[in-house]
Amino acid sequence: MIISELHLNNFRNYSHLDLKFHPHLNIFVGQNAQGKTNIAESIYFLALTRSHRTHADRELIAWQQKEMSVSGTILKKNTTVPLEITLTPKGRIAKVNHLKENRLADYIGHLNVIMFAPEDLAIIKGAPSVRRRFIDMEIGQIRPVYLYDLMRYNKTLKERNSYLKFDAAKIDPDFLDVLDDQLVEYGEKVMTHRRQFITSLTEISAELHHHLSHGQEKLSIVYAQNVKTDFAAELKQARDKDKFRSQTSVGPHRDDLQFLINAINVSNFGSQGQQRTTALSVKLAEIELIYQETGEYPVLLLDDVMSELDNQRQLDLLALVIGKTQTFITTTTLDHLQHLPDKMTVFEVAHGEITEQDNHD
Ligand SMILES: Nc1ncnc2c1ncn2[C@@H]1O[C@H](COP(=O)(O)OP(=O)(O)OP(=O)(O)O)[C@@H](O)[C@H]1O
């Protein structure tokens, strides 16, 4: 799939912007703090109805304004899909084909994006919650049903945790049994989706990493599932402890991922370069995974990462994606970008204004 047009109204530092994109490669070049990442962020937002870098939607609305909107046209193999999201003080309004979708889960998935930004190193180095968010966002893009299951799981978890805060004497074991049954039902579904996703991700990223490391490194990803074998039994066993601590200690809300290179944990012992290449392999694997699940390649957003890759990695990366995946690159300079294809559009970004510099069809 490709995004052919993008329209922004009061999004960050763009009061009004209309852009037409190249189907293969679009480069946004400009000095710091001009609005390059804002463009990548707006495309990510159009796909997933949230930002990749903030939880606070308010930050996305141009200062002194109350609303913003992002819209675009998505071209797929057989269809053209107009998408639009408006952020108002009352919340989000998401439209597909100009019709409002009542559930965001029905909206997400019409545009698939993979974003690779410096923050993504946190998938390797950061807290387990970062990795869970990564898993949730990625599975959610390809399987909307996952978002339903996850939402139901989180709702039940919240209810159980609130109930555990009651005085011990007031806790009815039968009611807790009912909550446990629900938690297990939704939790099992969440874990099944995660297991399948991680198995496929491991397989593809191992192959890509082998390629990117020129045969030197073997990457494997381990699903560090918090539930060992039997969720229901483990929940029951932890009940006294959970009552004492007023929180649920077992379940997929405690899951994690481990990245191993040649059997050594990259998060703790990998070099910066290995951590970066691992993050890149994982991101590139997602592109293939989305293709396998949906039959369309997603849009790739490379925000500020090219300068961090050496010449060879840039070459490998571009060779893997150009022509297959519509790619957006943000960068402060074109100087270090080697091996660019002939066909692309370069946009110059300055103070929230964009000028098309070069267009080679
Ligand atoms: N809600 C907002 N309203 C208006 N302007 C905003 C808003 N949020 C951010 N900005 C402005 O957007 C600019 C930052 O844009 P962006 O993050 O896209 O920079 P960039 O060009 O990618 O820079 P860098 O190369 O440093 O990453 C800053 O000038 C900032 O003041």
pLDDT tens-place string over residues 55-97: 899 999 999 999 999 999 999 998 999 999 999 988 899 999 9
The per-residue pLDDT for range 326-354, each reduced to its tens digit, is 999 999 988 877 777 778 999 999 998 99
**What is the pLDDT, as a whole number, of residue 58?**
94
User: Which has the closest alpha carbon to 352: 13, 9, 8, 39?
Assistant: 13
Burial 16-27 (b: 16+ CB within 10 A, else e): ebebebbebbbb
**CATH architecture type of domain 1-112+297-361:** 3-Layer(aba) Sandwich (3.40)
The pLDDT-based confidence of 116 (bands split at 50, 70, 90) is very high
- 343 labeled binding residue: no
Question: What percent of the chain stands above pLDDT 70?
Answer: 99
**How would residue 223 be classed by pLDDT, with cut points 50, 70 and 90?**
very high
Please tell me the class of the 123-295 domain: mainly alpha
> Was 36 annotated as part of a binding site?
yes
Contacts of 214 (CB under 8 A, 6+ apart): none
The pick from 28, 37, 119, 301 for probing ligand 1's pocket by mutation, whose C-beta has the most ligand atoms within 8 angstroms, reads 37
Beta bridge partners of 68: 87
Distance from Cα 141 to the centre of ligand 1, integer Å: 26
What is the band of 360 on the pLDDT scale with cuts at 50, 70, 90? low
- For 56, which DSSP code? -
**Residue 319 pLDDT level (bands cut at 50, 70, 90):** confident
Which pLDDT score is estimated for 111? 96
Close Cβ partners of 180 (under 8 Å, ≥ 6 residues apart):
160, 232, 235, 236
ipTM beyond 0.90? yes
Decide the pairing of beta strands 353-360 and 344-350. Answer: antiparallel
Whose structure tokens read 């679009």? 26
User: In the β-sheet with 264-265, what is the strand arrangement from edge to edge?
Assistant: 219-224, 256-261, 264-265
Encoding tokens for residue 265? 């944990």
Position with higher pLDDT, 358 vs 241: 241
Structure tokens at 160: 């159980």
DSSP, collapsed to helix, strand or coil, labels residue 355 as strand
CA 172, CA 334: separation in Å to the nearest integer? Answer: 66
Structure tokens at 75: 């071209």
Q: Is the pLDDT of residue 358 over 70?
A: no
Report the length, in residues, of the chain. 361
Which amino acid would we find at residue 195? R
User: Is the pLDDT assigned to residue 128 strictly greater than 90?
Assistant: yes
Rounded mean pLDDT, 94-123: 92
pLDDT of residue 236: 96
Which one is predicted more confidently, 178 or 170? 178
Ligand 1: residue whose CA is nearest its atom 9 = 12
Instruction: Return the best residue to mutate from 11, 13, 351 for the ligand 1 pocket (most ligand atoms within 8 A of CB).
Output: 13
295 contacts 77 by C-beta, under 8 angstroms? yes
Q: CA-to-CA distance for 113 and 69, rounded, in angstroms?
A: 18
Query: Measuring from atom 26 of ligand 1, which residue has the nearest CA?
Result: 32
Asked whether the predicted pLDDT for residue 361 surpasses 80, the reply is no
Domain residue extents for the chain: 1-112+297-361, 123-295
Q: What is the rounded distance in angstroms from the CA atom of residue 7 to the CA atom of residue 16? A: 8
Give the C-alpha separation, 354 to 27, whole Å: 11
Q: Which atom of ligand 1 is nearest to the CA of 35?
A: 18
Query: How many whole angstroms from 34 Cα to the centroid of ligand 1?
Result: 6
Average pLDDT over residues 87-112: 93
DSSP alpha helix (H) spans, the chain: 36-48, 104-107, 121-125, 128-142, 144-164, 173-212, 231-237, 239-245, 266-269, 272-294, 311-321
Tell me what pLDDT residue 359 has: 63
